[in-house]
Structure 1
Amino acid sequence: MIYNSLVKPLLFQLDAERAHDLMHHFARKASGSNFLRALAKTIYDYQAPGLTQNIWGLTFKNPLGLAAGFDKNGHIPEIMEAAGLGFIEIGSITGNPSTGNPKPRLFRLPRDRALINRMGLNNDGAKTIVKRLKNKKISIPLGINIAKTHDPKLMGDLAIRDYVHSFKEAQKIADYITVNISCPNTTDGKTFEDPAALGELLSALAIRDDARVVPTLIKFSSDLTKDQLMQLLQVCEAHQIPGYVACNTSSARDNLETPESELKKIGHGGLSGHPIASKSVRIIRWISEATRRQKPIIGVGGVDSFSTALQMMLAGADLLQLYTGLVYEGPGLVKSINRQFVKELKELNVDSIYQLMSAS
């Protein structure tokens, strides 16, 4: 209530990236304060036995996690855990540090409860971020999202070596790793969503050949056709990928209430939030059906209500991630959705979130 009535109106008077930086500044202070972490836990934390799942040998106390992009540099995992999240994904991190694209590069679409970003993978670099995370003390699973350094000169073998460097760094600290093959916000616009290129990348990461590799997931774009997705899944399944993240931001501008003139003024970038929820649900369902529900899926992209969260779970998601929903609804969204999941379990007379999905 405080967020929507007081904090959000103030933040929304600021440029979107400046508001994000201001909240991060406060969150960094809160992460280092025993008092503020305890206060956040008292206000926002909500756990229940029925929400717990064991996936990839990891215990998730509830299905809601922080999506990559919110805490790119690993500064605030402690306060995000205190706010009730079940897991956290840091990044995207890249082999080399990057300042990203020129500003402005983050924009709100309030009518659509959406964001457009073209941040350009700004981050402190894999080595620095991993070193920072070694000093963080959290008790929930930590994911690290890796991507190719924002540098058009890094193509082919150089791009793969860049990924491998980040992958090896991430393995030092991550409970799971997400390979982001679909970021649209780089100058060269290249991704690894070409089946041959993806095969080369996965061979270099040697996920299939090394049992010691941290559980490694692939994150897909929301703009894939079913045929494109099936081709990529075939490559992934051949490399024994243990799970998937669906999905990344969209380059499309379909069915938005924001005026066309405003969209043109903003320009290119990845669309996130409520408008891409239906795309995410569709991609989740396609992956679930193709893998016969044998591979865990993290659903992301438009989770801003219990209704959307439930749709994603029933489509085949095992876990969910939030980012844009937190911007529009505030940290109370996590507690609200988890409470409603528990209510749903009671109404259906089932004991766990797993049984809820199995019944769909």
Structure 2
Amino acid sequence: MYNSLVKSLLFKLDAEQAHSTIHRFAETASDSGMLKALAKSIYNYQSAKLSQQIWGLTFRNPIGLAAGFDKNGEIPEIMEALGFGFVEIGSITANPNTGNPKPRSFRLPKDRAIINRMGLNNDGAQTVIKRLKNKELSIPLGVNIAKTHDPKIMGDAAIQDYVQSFNEAKKVADYITVNISCPNTAEGKTFEDPSALDELLSALKIRDDARLVPTTVKFSSDLTKDQLLQLLEICEDHRIHGYVACNTSSSREGLQTSKAKLDNIGRGGLSGKPIANKSVQIVEWISEATKGQKPIIGVGGIDNFSTALKMILAGADLLQVYTGLIYKGPGLVKSINRQLLHELDELNIKSIHQLVKAFD
């Protein structure tokens, strides 16, 4: 039904209008026991074989909702009903922000991709966390934090901005993701600068408290292997609990969309199918560097079972989808989980962790 009717209607709207329409319906559904029950009966697909224990949390299946879809923590209940194994809200920032001027989100249908420059629009950490306190979930909740989108906030002020959001997130989050691809200086330097990352993680005091909420770092998809390894060394020194790979890309290489259309769209982060190979590669580099000892959430271009399996075999313990939902609809989650279970049964293995060995 999504591909035959809903998608065609939504694609008549611009990308952000379509998202807002879906979001308003999801808010209504989240408040309706009947609609949640209906969503669960159609889309929810679970099996004990898909369940994993990570960071002391139970993930009943490996497919999560990526940050960006529910920035303000308004619809996690309906996402649970749709069969997600976990949800990650945000990015949230210390101060509320309306983001960049519109239009700021663009579809690339030929590439099954999106370019966005939303500008971290959100209600602010305090408001979002207060809202989340009233949500009842039985799946893990991740909170993605970033620096407030304000060029005047940089240096030490940028670090304190993160600390404020981090302290708010700890009140409700089952895990926290630190998004480090955010400008830190007037020159546009991000927290993927090694010295800036070291200062940030020192301020968050992750290695000083073993009881801290599990904390992950989310990397850009545009890092070279050497850059990534340098950042991983810093993260490991600070005893980061896991990693999320990857964020969007600034590259336009290899796209089928015309150069004229891309030039008209302008800057923004590319997500969806074109960054899948990059994301799989970075997951593999992280897994190799950490000897498979740190949980990895693979995200970026997952829109079918084949890509999901590649991500798991590269070293991802959990997966996230967003752009894939736009092109494939909510049935994507059930489809991947069902095919993943079929793969486990075909190989006569009992858990996702055994998949990598089965393919060796």
- 1:358, 1:56 → 2: CA distance? 22
Structure 1 residue 349 and structure 2 residue 348: aligned? yes
- 2:254, 2:311 → 1: CA distance? 20
Structure 1 residue 328 and structure 2 residue 327: aligned? yes
Q: Would the aligned equivalents of 2:133 and 2:172 in 1 still touch at CA under 8 Å?
A: yes
Shift of 1:356: 1.1
Q: What whole-Å deviation, never above 9, does each CA across 1:183-234 have from its counterpart, x for those lacking one?
A: 4799964420011100000000000001221000000000000000000000
Partner residue in 2 for 1:359: 358
Q: Would the aligned equivalents of 1:183 and 1:248 in 2 still touch at CA under 8 Å?
A: no
Query: What are the equivalent positions in structure 2 for 1:279-294 lying under 5 Å apart?
Result: 279-294=278-293
Query: What are the equivalent positions in structure 2 for 1:299-318 lying under 5 Å apart?
Result: 299-318=298-317
Q: Would the aligned equivalents of 1:304 and 1:333 in 2 still touch at CA under 8 Å?
A: yes
Q: Would the aligned equivalents of 1:121 and 1:185 in 2 still touch at CA under 8 Å?
A: no
Shift of 1:359: 3.4
- 1:358, 1:38 → 2: CA distance? 38
Task: Structure 1: give runs of 5+ residues left out of the alignment.
Answer: none
Partner residue in 2 for 1:126: 125
1:251 is paired with a residue of what secondary structure?
Answer: coil
- 2:157, 2:88 → 1: CA distance? 25
Q: Would the aligned equivalents of 2:93 and 2:147 in 1 still touch at CA under 8 Å?
A: yes
2:203 is paired with a residue of what secondary structure?
Answer: helix
Q: Would the aligned equivalents of 1:60 and 1:86 in 2 still touch at CA under 8 Å?
A: yes
Partner residue in 2 for 1:70: 69
Q: What whole-Å deviation, never above 9, does each CA across 1:40-64 have from its counterpart, x for those lacking one?
A: 0000000001100000000000000
Counterpart code for 1:278: N
Counterpart code for 2:276: A
Using the aligned pairs only, state the percent identity: 74
Query: What are the equivalent positions in structure 2 for 1:184-203 lying under 5 Å apart?
Result: 189-203=188-202
Partner residue in 2 for 1:87: 86
**Structure 1 residues 187 and 313 mapped into 2: Cα distance closer, same or farther (>3 Å)?**
farther
Q: Would the aligned equivalents of 1:185 and 1:270 in 2 still touch at CA under 8 Å?
A: no
Partner residue in 2 for 1:237: 236
- 1:189, 1:267 → 2: CA distance? 17
1:104 is paired with a residue of what secondary structure?
Answer: coil
Counterpart code for 1:57: G
Instruction: Using structure 2 for the length normalisation, give the TM-score.
Output: 0.98
Shift of 1:354: 1.4
Q: Would the aligned equivalents of 2:154 and 2:186 in 1 still touch at CA under 8 Å?
A: no
Counterpart code for 2:163: V
2:114 is paired with a residue of what secondary structure?
Answer: strand
Q: What whole-Å deviation, never above 9, does each CA across 1:127-159 have from its counterpart, x for those lacking one?
A: 000000000011000000000000001111000
Query: What are the equivalent positions in structure 2 for 1:22-171 lying under 5 Å apart?
Result: 22-171=21-170
Counterpart code for 1:292: K
Shift of 1:275: 0.2
Q: Would the aligned equivalents of 2:29 and 2:35 in 1 still touch at CA under 8 Å?
A: yes
**Structure 1 residues 184 and 285 mapped into 2: Cα distance closer, same or farther (>3 Å)?**
farther
- 2:55, 2:255 → 1: CA distance? 37
- 1:187, 1:306 → 2: CA distance? 42
Q: What whole-Å deviation, never above 9, does each CA across 1:7-42 have from its counterpart, x for those lacking one?
A: 000000001000000000000000000000000000
Query: What are the equivalent positions in structure 2 for 1:212-231 lying under 5 Å apart?
Result: 212-231=211-230
- Alpha-carbon RMSD across the aligned residues, in angstroms, is 1.3
2:87 is paired with a residue of what secondary structure?
Answer: strand
Partner residue in 2 for 1:255: 254
**Structure 1 residues 320 and 209 mapped into 2: Cα distance closer, same or farther (>3 Å)?**
same
Q: Would the aligned equivalents of 1:184 and 1:270 in 2 still touch at CA under 8 Å?
A: no
Q: What whole-Å deviation, never above 9, does each CA across 1:254-293 have from its counterpart, x for those lacking one?
A: 1000000000000000000000000000000000000000
1:92 is paired with a residue of what secondary structure?
Answer: strand
**Structure 1 residues 186 and 7 mapped into 2: Cα distance closer, same or farther (>3 Å)?**
farther
- 2:185, 2:307 → 1: CA distance? 29
2:207 is paired with a residue of what secondary structure?
Answer: coil
Shift of 1:358: 4.0
Task: Structure 2: give runs of 5+ residues left out of the alignment.
Answer: none
Q: What whole-Å deviation, never above 9, does each CA across 1:311-352 have from its counterpart, x for those lacking one?
A: 000000000000000000000000000000000001111011
1:262 is paired with a residue of what secondary structure?
Answer: helix
Q: Would the aligned equivalents of 2:64 and 2:319 in 1 still touch at CA under 8 Å?
A: yes
**Structure 1 residues 219 and 341 mapped into 2: Cα distance closer, same or farther (>3 Å)?**
same
Q: Would the aligned equivalents of 1:146 and 1:180 in 2 still touch at CA under 8 Å?
A: yes
- 1:186, 1:130 → 2: CA distance? 27
